[in-house]
Every structure is written in structure tokens, then in C-alpha cells.
């Protein structure tokens, strides 16, 4: 048997059902009276993190809310809105380099991966290999060098 709430195309039937109003030919038995809904599970101790004036009603035009101080926490945050002054952005935008537009793609690549980067990558490869050699030794392994890493990147 279908629920009588969903038999009609009228949206009023839904709202009447939600409010506990009986449709003609139905019973309100089993419907929830909205006055039976309680909020007894909310304890005021749960709200102890909030100060008394932290939240206010939008329609509250009383003089005590206007006289509240602009209290800041230790990090400078406040519950009051105020205008923010932004300094004008005056720095150069885009890539900052001395290469000519006619430079090769390899010149641009070396802006990102310089000699220090290849040296660091080789050192980390060797460190990882030494760690793995402890559990599974490989007699053929030899430490890699920055030029080898550079050649590997070039082949990729």
C-alpha cells in the first residue's frame, strides 16, 4: 500500500503532511506533532567556547550591540568586519630571467635544473641505492654522478 503522502501532485500535500495536517480521508495518527520536538540534548556547557556577544541577531539594533568592543584574539582575528587596505602590486610579473626570446629550449631548461640540482639529484640517488643495498646487495652498482643524471634527463 502506497503512502498517502506521495499520491498527489500538489506540493501543498507535502507541507501539510510535514506540519501534521491530515488530508481528507486520512488520519493524523502516527504523525509527529511539531511541538513534541525537543532540543533537550543541547547543553549550555557545549556553548562555553563562545563569548556572550560573539553572535548577534541580524535584526538586533539595540544600543548594547553597537557599543560592544572590537575584541581581538591573540592572532589578531576579530568578529567585526572592517575595510582592508591592500598595497598596490608593483612587482614585475612573469618569468624573471636574462635570456633572449631567441634562446634555445635547453637554455630555459637549465634555468630550472642548474648544476646544483643535478648534484643534489645524484646524491639522493646514491643515498637511496645505499639504503637498498643493505637489504639486497648488487655488486654491479656504482655511484652515479651529476653528468650521468644530466644525460639521463636529456634522454627523457
CB 151 within 8 A of CB 119: no
pLDDT for the residue 24: 56
pLDDT for the residue 95: 76
CB 17 within 8 A of CB 31: yes
Higher-scoring residue by pLDDT: 122, 19:
122
Distance of alpha carbon 128 from the chain centroid: 34
Domain boundaries defined on the chain: 103-155
Rounded mean pLDDT, 10-36: 55
Distance CA 154, CA 156 (A): 5
Alpha-carbon Rg for the chain, nearest whole angstrom, is 36
Amino acid at each position: 500500500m502506497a503512502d498517502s503522502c506521495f499520491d498527489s501532485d500538489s506540493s501543498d500535500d507535502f507541507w501539510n503532511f510535514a506540519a501534521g495536517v491530515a488530508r481528507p480521508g486520512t488520519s493524523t495518527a502516527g504523525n509527529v506533532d511539531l511541538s513534541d520536538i525537543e532540543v533537550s540534548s543541547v547543553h549550555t556547557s557545549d556553548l562555553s567556547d563562545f563569548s556572550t556577544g560573539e553572535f548577534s541577531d541580524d535584526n538586533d539594533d539595540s544600543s548594547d550591540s553597537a557599543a560592544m568592543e572590537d575584541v581581538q584574539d591573540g592572532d589578531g582575528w576579530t568578529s567585526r568586519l572592517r575595510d582592508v587596505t591592500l598595497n598596490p602590486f608593483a612587482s614585475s610579473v612573469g618569468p624573471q630571467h636574462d635570456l633572449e626570446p631567441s634562446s634555445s629550449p635547453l637554455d630555459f631548461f637549465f634555468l630550472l635544473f642548474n648544476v646544483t640540482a643535478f648534484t643534489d639529484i645524484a646524491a639522493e640517488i646514491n643515498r637511496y641505492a645505499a639504503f637498498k643495498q643493505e637489504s639486497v646487495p648488487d655488486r654491479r652498482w656504482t655511484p652515479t654522478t651529476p653528468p650521468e643524471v644530466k644525460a639521463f634527463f636529456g634522454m627523457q
